[in-house]
Amino acid sequence: GSNQTVGRVKLNWEYAYARSYQIQVSTDGSTWTTVAEEWNGDGGIDELTFSPRTARYVKIYCIQRATQYGFSLWEFEVFRN
């Protein structure tokens, strides 16, 4: 992989979704920067747009569950814009 410009993510949640979470990016896999946050998630499909950043790695940091189960995604897509 290599560094790319990223500016949008699309999350397709299963039943076990996050009520609150952050999208974080990194160029080295060690230092992470939060670029988007959701504090009142309702499952289904979430699209979050943020100021374009250079990143090699993108992760979701789940903070609070919305169900009794853990966290589960059908799909996690990352876009340039």
Q: Over its length of 81 residues, how does the chain's per-residue pLDDT go in tens digits?
A: 899 999 999 999 999 999 999 999 999 999 999 999 999 999 999 999 999 999 999 999 999 999 999 999 999 999 998
Predicted confidence at residue 1, as pLDDT, reads 87
| CB-neighbour burial class of residue 74 (10 A; exposed 0-12, middle 13-18, buried 19+) | exposed
CA angle 29, 30, 31 (to 5 degrees): 105
DSSP per-residue letters across 31-42: S-EEEEEESS--
Q: Report the CATH number that the domain containing residue 26 is assigned in CATH.
A: 2.60.120.260
For residue 81, the model assigns a pLDDT of 86
| Threshold 0.85, pTM exceeds | yes
Q: Give the C-alpha separation, 30 to 69, whole Å.
A: 28
The total number of structural domains in the chain stands at 1
Domain extent, residue 62, equals: 4-79
Question: Residue 70 has what pLDDT?
Answer: 96
Separation between Cα atoms, residue 19 and residue 72, nearest integer Å: 12
